[in-house]
């Protein structure tokens, strides 16, 4: 097997994140389920934008956040996602490249506008997302560059890709190319509502070996196995997955494979500000740890460190170098 050009290549919905602080009353008035991710149309997107308060904008999408995190650790990172040649698309492409991520996906010249996600953050740090998929949902198998996928040690896929049909096919194509090149494929389950839509298909991906590494939080794990018993669900995941990392907020994370269970404590924080991107950045640290052969425990510690950094400020991207932070904490040499 040839040496990888990239440590991690992410494929996901390329979405501009528009974040604003709000309260539970606003969510109720807008008919939003707190903590959920809802898919919306362009008219609903405009209505939410008009109603929400001052906002912060950043190139986003679950897998993109992870890939930017990998780059911040010093990893070699690439991203595949669809934007349109509009103002938001130009901003998106510039923003992700500025984070030292290779981004060469062909830009759409027609069709819907670049995707946006309106993220409402309540005082308890919980985020409620309303996503207009726009151009992102037109990611297709034609956008998957076989050489680029084969050049990545890990291809990282987000569960949200399972919503649009063409993106689903791109996901499967990328997985086949990666395995053909004897590389690994990782999947983040994205959110419990996403699992509710595609539970049996996600289980087939895990059990059938389409994915090698699974990321989930506690709620997603319980949803996947339709269980209220964490230990029983974790046991089932160990049986189904080659390797999995389950995040548990302030309890840290548990990393499991067929032979071992590794518990890792959460990194301490001063204040919880915004949970947006916590799971995405955990995956970044964990995958970077795997890339440098740090072992499951250290990979989990790097994941928890990155998650702790991102939840202490608004937005799903690190505000400083994660590599420098990890060195400061003694997690990298």
CA dihedral sign of residues 332, 154, 6, 97: negative
Q: Based on the number of CB atoms within 10 Å of its own CB, is 223 exposed (0-12), middle (13-18) or buried (19 or more)?
A: buried
Domain count, the chain: 1
Tens digit of each residue's pLDDT, the chain (333 residues): 568 999 999 999 999 999 999 999 999 999 999 998 899 998 999 899 999 989 988 888 999 999 999 999 999 999 999 999 999 999 999 999 999 999 999 999 999 999 999 999 999 989 899 999 999 989 999 999 999 999 999 999 999 888 888 888 999 999 999 999 999 999 999 888 889 999 999 999 999 999 999 999 999 999 999 999 999 999 999 999 999 999 999 999 999 999 999 999 999 999 998 888 899 999 999 999 999 999 999 999 999 999 999 999 988 899 999 999 999 999 998
pLDDT in tens, 274-303: 888 899 999 999 999 999 999 999 999 999
Whether residue 234 is contained in a domain is answered as yes
Whether residue 40 is contained in a domain is answered as no
Whether residue 300 is contained in a domain is answered as yes
Whether residue 241 is contained in a domain is answered as yes
What is the CATH number for 230?
A: 3.40.1190.20
Whether residue 199 is contained in a domain is answered as yes
pLDDT in tens, 82-140: 999 999 999 999 999 999 999 999 999 999 999 999 999 999 989 899 999 999 989 99
Q: What is the 3-state secondary structure (H, E, C) of 186-233?
A: EEECCCHHHHHHHHHHHHHHHHCCCCCEEEEEHHHHHHHCCCCCHHHH
Show the domain range for 228: 6-12+62-112+134-328
Whether residue 104 is contained in a domain is answered as yes
Report helix angle 62-73 to 296-310, nearest 10: 110
Whether residue 277 is contained in a domain is answered as yes
Whether residue 180 is contained in a domain is answered as yes
Model confidence, pTM: 0.92
């Amino acid at each position: 097997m040839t040496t990888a050009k990239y440590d991690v290549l992410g494929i996901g919905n390329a979405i501009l994140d528009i974040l604003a602080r709000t309260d539970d009353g606003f969510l109720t008035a807008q008919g939003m389920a707190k903590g959920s991710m809802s898919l919306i149309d362009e008219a609903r997107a405009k209505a939410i934008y008009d109603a929400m308060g001052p906002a912060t904008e950043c190139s986003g999408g679950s897998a993109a956040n992870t890939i930017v995190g990998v780059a911040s650790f010093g990893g070699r990172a690439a991203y595949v996602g669809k934007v349109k040649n509009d103002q938001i698309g130009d901003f998106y492409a510039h923003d992700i490249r500025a984070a030292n991520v290779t981004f060469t996906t062909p830009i759409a010249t027609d069709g819907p506008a670049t995707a946006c996600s309106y993220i409402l953050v309540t005082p308890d740090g919980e985020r409620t997302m309303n996503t207009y998929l726009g151009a992102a949902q037109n990611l297709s198998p034609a956008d998957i560059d076989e050489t680029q996928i084969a050049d990545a040690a890990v291809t990282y896929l987000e569960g949200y890709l399972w919503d649009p049909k063409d993106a689903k096919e791109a996901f499967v194509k990328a997985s086949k190319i990666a395995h053909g090149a004897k590389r690994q494929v990782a999947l983040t389950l994205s959110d419990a509502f996403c699992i509710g839509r595609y539970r049996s298909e996600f289980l087939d991906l895990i059990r059938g070996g389409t994915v090698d590494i699974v990321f989930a939080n506690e709620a997603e794990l319980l949803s996947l196995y339709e269980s209220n018993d964490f230990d029983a669900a974790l046991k089932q995941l160990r049986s189904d997955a080659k390797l999995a990392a389950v995040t548990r907020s302030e309890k840290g994370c548990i990393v499991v494979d067929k032979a071992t269970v590794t518990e890792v404590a959460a990194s301490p924080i001063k204040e919880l500000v915004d949970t947006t991107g916590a799971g995405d950045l955990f995956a970044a640290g964990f995958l970077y740890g795997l890339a440098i052969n740090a072992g499951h425990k250290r990979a989990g510690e790097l994941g928890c460190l990155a998650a702790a950094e991102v939840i202490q400020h608004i937005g799903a991207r690190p505000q400083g170098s994660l590599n420098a932070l990890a060195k400061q904490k003694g997690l990298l040499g």
